[in-house]
Amino acid sequence: MPKAELHIHIEGSLEPQRIFALAQRNGLTLPYADVEALRAAYAFEDLQSFLDIYYAGAGVLLKEADFFDMAWDYFQRAAADHVVHAELFFDPQTHTDRGVPIEAVIIGLHHACQRAHAELGISSRLILCFLRHLSEEAAMATLEQALPLRHHFVGVGLDSSERGHPPEKFARVFARCRELGLHVVAHAGEEGPPAYITSALDVLKVERIDHGVRCTEDPALVQRLARERVPLTVCPLSNLKLCVVPDLAAHNLPQLLDAGLCATVNSDDPAYFGGYINDNFLQTFEALPQLGARQAWQLARNSFEASFVPAAQKQAWMAQLDAVFAQAADAA
């Protein structure tokens, strides 16, 4: 089924093999003996325990070619999963704070996006994320650094440690981004309370909510998200691995769809959470018998609706999706 992926941190697609290869290429020594030892450390109890390892893994990225290789690895996997459009989050502060020039980050990713289009037919966009555990001043400085490369990204997001870092901490920098004509999204309601979803909408004026699964704790908020058709980029395997849900059978994806929300399925940090986008679909559908072909179609359709591309492009992908389902129905 053709689909768009709208919630993928490109640094979260760095597989252990690639981490070791980049460490060797860059003359760095990792505190893990081998790929298996690193993978064994991927047992998370919450968002922070994951982020600590995720930022350490990203430490092997130094050169433009490293960013290119990472993203090209991702695009090849995305193509195998029938992803026709991907909106990639990247975390410049994770790299610039280590002395990596922001140009190396953005240009390396951009070249991978170009190759993905040319060789795999995948369309893509870049979304610059601010780290919410750092200050708003640091976010503003990062935005200013990135502005000469403004034509290479379409929007900004907000990620990293959610609890204790509410969206309103970034009110000014998001206002500036909106003035610049950038799309705006934010992680909210993953570990943080439903009130963070509300303030992401009201204060940051975001167009999509990343995760947002805790919205079901507030029925009025669910109604609002449905009424305003605010997309949620849900990541089931991430929710499982970060202990947001005890098991996939307890995931509220069916409730979100039943409430008429524009929910989508995405991989978040696939190298760390045990699967790419199709693994997220397959494992979630396996665990939840209420989910069937109708919901798969709806989720893929929602992913196109929620993407940051012109309406004509969305319509073309939706028609492609309908053709795939019509063909499958004929064959059945």
Which residues sit at the interface with Zn ion, rule CB under 5 A? 268
> Radius of gyration over alpha carbons of the chain, in Å?
19
State the residue for tokens 């555990």.
133
Q: For ligand HPA, which residue of 64, 73, 87, 190 counts as binding (CB under 6 A)?
A: 190
DSSP string, 54-107: HHHHHTT--SHHHHHHHHHHHHHHHHHTTEEEEEEEE-HHHHHTTT--HHHHHH
Number of CB atoms found within 10 A of residue 3's CB = 27
Min separation Cβ 289 and Zn ion, Å: 27
Tell me which residues in 112-171 interact with ligand HPA (CB under 6 A): 159-160
- Which C-beta is closer to ligand HPA: that of 270 or that of 317? 270
Q: How far apart are CA 105 and CA 266, in angstroms?
A: 23
Of the candidates 11, 15, 190, 191, the residue annotated as catalytic is 190
198: contact with ligand HPA by CB under 6 A: no
Q: For ligand HPA, which residue of 8, 10, 12, 308 counts as binding (CB under 6 A)?
A: 12
| CB closest to ligand HPA, residue no | 159
- Which C-beta is closer to Zn ion: that of 55 or that of 325? 55
* Strand, helix or coil for residue 187: strand
Residue 190 binding target from Zn ion, ligand HPA, none, CB below 5 to 8 Å by type: ligand HPA
The b-or-e profile of 185-211 (16+ CB within 10 A means b, else e) is bbbbbbbbbbbbbbbbbebbebbbbbb
267: contact with ligand HPA by CB under 6 A: no
Q: How far apart are CA 277 and CA 55, in angstroms?
A: 22
208: contact with ligand HPA by CB under 6 A: no
Helix or strand (DSSP H, E) at 237: helix 236-241
47: contact with ligand HPA by CB under 6 A: yes
Min separation Cβ 289 and ligand HPA, Å: 27
Tell me which residues in 225-244 interact with ligand HPA (CB under 6 A): 238
Cβ burial, residue 320 (10 Å; 0-12/13-18/19+): middle
187: contact with ligand HPA by CB under 6 A: yes
Verify whether residue 190 is a known catalytic residue: yes
Residues lying near ligand HPA in the complex (CB under 6 A) are found at 9, 12, 47, 54, 159-160, 187, 190, 238, 268-269
Tell me the catalytic residues. Answer: 190
